[in-house]
Amino acid sequence: MAENKTLTEWRIIGETIPGASHIRAGIPNQDSILYVRESNRTLPIVLSVSDGHGSPKCFRSDRGSRFAVKKAAYLISEFLDERRGKFDLAEIESQKDYLAGEFVRRWRETVEADLKKEPFAEKEFENLEKKSDARARKLVEDNPLLAYGATSLSVAMEEDFILYLQLGDGDMLTVSETGEVTKPLPEDGRLLANETTSLCLPKAENDFRFLVQKISPEQSPAMILLSTDGYLNSFSSEAGFFQAATDIQDMLRAENGFDAVSENLKGWLEEATQMGSGDDCTVGIIYRPDALKKSEITETSKKSEKPETTTKTETPPSPETTQAIAALTDSTAATTSENMEDVTVTITIKKDKNKISAPTSVALAEEDSAQTKTATDKSNDKQSK
């Protein structure tokens, strides 16, 4: 007799906003976010975010990031669908090279199709030379992918495991029921200052970080947060960023926590970029309501054993929104699909109501941080001097 499993409920929230410095400079949002969930199933969920590079040479990186979230989310969805009902974690772990290589291949194929449809215009090169020089133009002509350069962070939820896949900078955090924050993936020592690995670089498939994490209803993260580096860089320390994650989780525990976070996430991100990095900011959140309720009950029972004290009201962190994929608008729920009949892509963006201010515990860093560079940019800059 087949085991009768009770599927775990996961909910998802996502926002992306243009950076304050980008708005002033007339630069579009170069971040993208997308999630895929099958219309008739609770799981799997695939969440993907991407950060298009801010270097002048990456002048089509807003397109590159949109292509990245679509290709990553659909590839992982297809990969899981092919293995439905017969998941072998060891076999899935062995497929890192396939997933990374196939993702890079599909992304590059999409970029090449975009270039064929719309070749670089002379005006784009003129703008590049104004911001940089003629040698920058030569670099893009030699490697057209550079204009579309972007990072990629994806997480896929299944009932028994979580799959994490990352290329380049940005952050993935897991938060336990008790509020412990960890990074599931190891650090990449090459991501120093504003350098990053990228989809536009040769052998990008070798630069992915990958993890398959076995979970159960009794042992799994209560919340997972993905963000582009514009959000982390708006904090004066990583500790402040971690605190923001636990603040968000605390808000989600409330009776109307999902609506409160959904409606205020944009404002928090806007405040983060205005007071901090100046960069585009994107945050995607997946969480288990049952885990938060369970933890809340435990906390309540602990408090009942202690003398009554004054309760401190938590206020959430700062994040932002705007375009989620292709052409989503501010107050609409959008669904789309990519030749997959049983898969819908859904992003809901709501206008702010009952605005909640950002938490005072969040200390923000300097405004207008330097533009992100790919790992080859510094060497290229040296050659061009």
Task: Measure the CA–CA gap between 161 and 143, rounded to whole angstroms.
Answer: 38
Between 377 and 367, the more confident residue is 377
Query: Which of 292, 299, 303, 214 minimizes the C-alpha distance to 255?
Result: 292
pLDDT single digits (tens) 19-31: 999 999 999 999 9
Please say if the pLDDT value at position 69 is more than 70: yes
pLDDT single digits (tens) 78-95: 999 888 877 888 999 999
Lowest mean per-residue pLDDT among 33-42, 134-143, 181-190, 361-370: 361-370
Mean pLDDT throughout 49-75? 97
pLDDT single digits (tens) 200-209: 999 999 999 9
Query: Which of 304, 190, 210, 285 minimizes the C-alpha distance to 246?
Result: 285
Would you state the pLDDT for residue 66?
Answer: 98
Would you state the pLDDT for residue 337?
Answer: 34
What top-level class would CATH report for the domain 11-369? Answer: alpha beta
Would you state the pLDDT for residue 303?
Answer: 41
Please say if the pLDDT value at position 282 is more than 90: yes
Between 143 and 297, the more confident residue is 143
DSSP state of 80: H
State the average pLDDT for the chain.
Answer: 79
Determine how β-strand 343-348 pairs with β-strand 31-38: antiparallel
Please say if the pLDDT value at position 311 is more than 90: no
pLDDT single digits (tens) 322-333: 333 233 223 223
Task: Measure the CA–CA gap between 26 and 20, rounded to whole angstroms.
Answer: 10
Phi, psi of 332 (to 5 degrees): -125, 150
DSSP state of 34: E
As a whole-number percent, the residues of the chain with pLDDT over 70 amount to: 73
Please say if the pLDDT value at position 101 is more than 80: yes
Between 378 and 246, the more confident residue is 246
Please say if the pLDDT value at position 251 is more than 90: yes
Single-letter amino acid, residue 254: A
Where are the domains positioned within the chain? 11-369
Mean pLDDT throughout 179-202? 90
Would you state the pLDDT for residue 295?
Answer: 54
Please say if the pLDDT value at position 34 is more than 90: yes
- Written in H, E and C, the secondary structure of 150-199 is ECEEEEEECCCEEEEEEECCCEEEEECCCCCEECCCCCCCCCCCCEECCC
Mean pLDDT throughout 188-205? 89
Please say if the pLDDT value at position 275 is more than 60: yes
Between 134 and 32, the more confident residue is 32
Would you state the pLDDT for residue 191?
Answer: 84
Q: Model-level pTM? A: 0.78
Please say if the pLDDT value at position 194 is more than 50: yes
DSSP state of 201: S
Would you state the pLDDT for residue 40?
Answer: 61
Would you state the pLDDT for residue 43?
Answer: 85
Q: Which helix (H) or strand (E) holds 269?
A: helix 257-275
